[in-house]
Amino acid sequence: MTVLALSGVSKHFGAIQALSDVSLTLRSGEVVGLMGDNGAGKSTLVKIVAGNYPPSSGEMTIEGRNVHFSGPADARSAGIEIVYQDLALCDNLTAAANVYLGRELTKRMGPLRLLNYKAMYDRAGELFAELKSETRPRDLVRRMSGGQRQAVAIARTRLSEPKIVLMDEPTAAISVRQVAEVLNLIRRLRDHGISVVLISHRMPDVFSVCDRIVVLRRGTKVADKAVEQSSPEEVTALITGAIETA
Amino acid sequence: MAREEVGMVTSLEDAISRQTHGHPLSWLTSRQTFWVFLAAVIACVTLSLVTDTFATERNLFNVTRNFAFVGIVALGMTAVIIIGGIDLSVGSVVVLSAMVTGMTMAAGYPIYLAVPLALAASLAVGLFNGVMVAFLKVPPFVVTLGVLSVARSLAMVLSDNKMVYQFGPDHQALLTLGGGSTLGIPHPVYFLVVLALGTGYFFRWTRWGRHIFAIGGNEQAATLTGIPVRSVKISVYMFASLMAGITGVLEVGWLGGVTTNLGQSMELSVIAAAVIGGANLAGGIGTAFGAVVGAALIEVIRNSLILLGISTFWQGTFVGSFIIIAVLFDRLRVSRAND
Ligand SMILES: Nc1ncnc2c1ncn2[C@@H]1O[C@H](COP(=O)(O)OP(=O)(O)OP(=O)(O)O)[C@@H](O)[C@H]1O
Ligand SMILES: [Mg+2]
């Protein structure tokens, strides 16, 4: 079943054409690797899906229904979670506060609605344990290592029962052991029927976990094929432009 | 066996978290607010010992009331500083609010009409500041500097730059509101306590509070995660203006009259109070309690200058140096933490 379909999506920032006429489908439980050189438009594409920008033109459907997101909250309620490339963390807040940023839990007390610190600490702690991360919910993000920060950003995607998880270079700053953990997580998501878009520059990761590879070059989709029918060499050539399309 | 392992893991985690969070006493002494509080207490004790004028009922009454005015405005300023902004227009909002109250009542209208009108005028100023900053991306320093001039000028136009001291039928009610006292404590202090508790509650226990800290910490992240950054910013500037507006109403009652120089250069004391109380001008850090303690310290020092017979011309030097020293302290602490 097709979960997400983009058709003819373009995006420009002033004079910069970040994406031109990109069409893409994502089936449930499918893991798609999105690759491309720096500035190819990968982050822009996932941010459009996550409701951060509206596309300049083109259509987006979720499970066959046309959608227009006016913000990330809309995308989340449509079942889309994202790990941002720069992680989008606030250094002055705790790990748990960052996990729940923009969807803080509250509890009623008489006429008041108070932040539910305990529930957020507890759940964040469970998520970090699940990710086998050393991150502690009450610690300030300012004092955290690169891997711990990444765990915080990834933990956000586990708060809901999403249909689609977008990961923009989730393994950029972490150790071999934690990379394996993230790849395992992606497989677990897939086994639960959740679709994943993985942006990564690490060829082995993409080839070990993805079903399909999509390559963007200067905002245009130049390849979209099953991993078995491709090879790291071909993908490299597609990214650099040594091969035009495949 | 499995259970034992779990037990071990939790106790290990406990141990680690105890270590990182430290002893309660070392937590306390790491807080700027604590040292400022201590400084204020020491200053009070010293002044009571070396002068016989400080610990008099009359003087304490004046100090606490003045401190309440700076403190209330500093609560709003702290919120603005937390989101990484600044509001230079608060002193002018004080006079605008005071003038609207005074003129409305002088025209014979009752206090329950005049006060909401004054607060509405204050909120309108905050709305303007907020929209300029949030939607048109004008730097807060520039917007509020402009409004500092505009709001005071409007107060002058409104009053034709005359002193207003006849407040119509509710004259006495207004004087009691801002100038009276209950159980020996001036009314503005009650306002300060209630507003400080309310502000503290909003900062710590509401989503709005969480969002202002997030915006100050990383505005980009706040936007990406779907926090309504622009409306939160507008609400913060409106909150700051509201605090200034309330202070304006109370100050007319205290003074028994309004002139257009009311609240002049108040923004300096207020920013100093917020910063001394631990608010970080880079954004993301600040507390309501800190604002109150900072205001207390400034007012005690200011009062001590007067009591010790030092010319009032020196006050600006002290307040200005205080801001610089507080920021410098913060810089030193940050650079030490990074070593
Ligand atoms: N908010 C923005 N405003 C203006 N230009 C932008 C914006 N976001 C992206 N761009 C431009 O769009 C193009 C695509 O950027 P994008 O971040 O999508 O690339 P990317 O494929 O994610 O690159 P990388 O591998 O470096 O992360 C770039 O030329 C970039 O400068
Ligand atoms: Mg990118």
ipTM computed for the complex? 0.90
**Per-position b or e across B60-98, b if 16+ CB within 10 A of its CB:** bebbbbbbbbbbbbbbbbbbbbbbbbbbbbbbbbbbbbb
Task: Spell out the domain ranges in chain B.
Answer: 58-331
Mean pLDDT for A152-158 is: 91
How many domains in chain A?
1
> What pLDDT digit, counting tens, does each position of B96-129 carry?
999 999 989 888 889 899 999 999 999 999 999 9
**CATH code, residues B58-331:** 1.10.3470
Average pLDDT for chain A: 91
| Matching residue, tokens 């309310």 | B198
Q: Which residue has the higher pLDDT, B260 or A91?
A: A91
Strand ranges inside chain B, DSSP E: 181-182, 185-186
Q: What are phi and psi of A225, to 5 degrees?
A: -150, 160
CB distance B97 to B263 below 8 Å: no
Strand partners, A27: A2
Mean pLDDT for A79-92 is: 92
Distance CA A74, CA A44 (A): 17
Question: B315 CB contacts (<8 Å, ≥6 apart)?
Answer: B302, B305
Put simply, whether the predicted model's pTM sits higher than 0.90 gets the answer: no
Which residue range forms the structural domain that includes residue A203?
A: 2-90+145-240
Question: B223 contacts in A (CB within 8 Å)?
Answer: 52
Amino acid at A133: S
> What pLDDT digit, counting tens, does each position of B14-65 carry?
444 444 445 666 666 566 778 778 888 888 888 788 777 777 877 887 788 8
The C-alpha of B277 sits at a distance from chain A's nearest C-alpha, in angstroms, of 17
Asked whether residue A8 is assigned to any structural domain, the reply reads yes
Burial tier of A119 (Cβ tally within 10 Å: 0-12, 13-18, 19+): middle
Q: Which residue has the higher pLDDT, B84 or B337?
A: B84
- SS3 assignment, position B110: coil
The answer to which of A110-114, A172-176, B136-140, B259-263 has the lowest mean pLDDT is A172-176
CB contact (8 A) between residue A136 and residue B218: no
Q: Which residue has the higher pLDDT, B168 or B71?
A: B71
Residue B339 has pLDDT above 90, yes or no: no
CB distance B262 to B6 below 8 Å: no
| Matching residue, tokens 């990710």 | A131
Distance CA A170, CA A148 (A): 12
CATH number at residue A178: 3.40.50.300
Asked whether residue A107 is assigned to any structural domain, the reply reads no
For residue A37, give the ligand 1 atom closest to its CA.
25
Asked whether residue A176 is assigned to any structural domain, the reply reads yes
Instruction: Tell me which residue has its CA closest to atom 25 in ligand 1.
Output: A38
Question: B5 CB contacts (<8 Å, ≥6 apart)?
Answer: none
Q: Identify the H or E element spanning A226.
A: strand A220-226
Q: How many whole angstroms from its chain centre is CA B137?
A: 24
Axis crossing angle, helix B140-159 with helix B90-106, rounded to the nearest 10 = 20
Nearest CA in chain A to B219: A90
- Does A44 sit in the ligand 1 pocket, CB within 6 Å? yes
Of B127, B1, B74, B31, the residue nearest B270 (C-alpha): B74
B216 touches chain A (CB under 8 A): yes
pLDDT at A241: 84
Distance CA A45, CA A47 (A): 5
Asked whether residue A236 is assigned to any structural domain, the reply reads yes
- Token pair, residue B47, equals 């002044």
Q: DSSP per residue over A118-133, as a string? A: HHHHHHHHHHHHHTT-
Half-sphere exposure of B59 (CA within 13 A, CB side): 16
Average pLDDT for chain B: 85
Distance CA A194, CA A31 (A): 9
Long-range contacts for B315-324 (Cβ within 8 Å, ≥24 apart)?
Answer: B316/B265, B316/B268, B319/B268, B319/B269, B319/B272, B320/B268, B320/B272, B322/B272, B322/B276, B322/B298, B323/B268, B323/B271, B323/B272, B323/B275, B323/B276
Residue B324 has pLDDT above 60, yes or no: yes
Asked whether residue A127 is assigned to any structural domain, the reply reads no
Q: What are phi and psi of A113, to 5 degrees?
A: -120, 110
A69 touches chain B (CB under 8 A): no
Amino acid at B78: T
Q: How far are the Cα atoms of A47, B64, B68, B271 from residue B289, in angstroms, in the given order?
A: 40, 16, 13, 15
Disruptive mutation site among B225, B232, B333 for chain A (greatest number of A CBs within 10 Å): B225
A76 touches chain B (CB under 8 A): yes
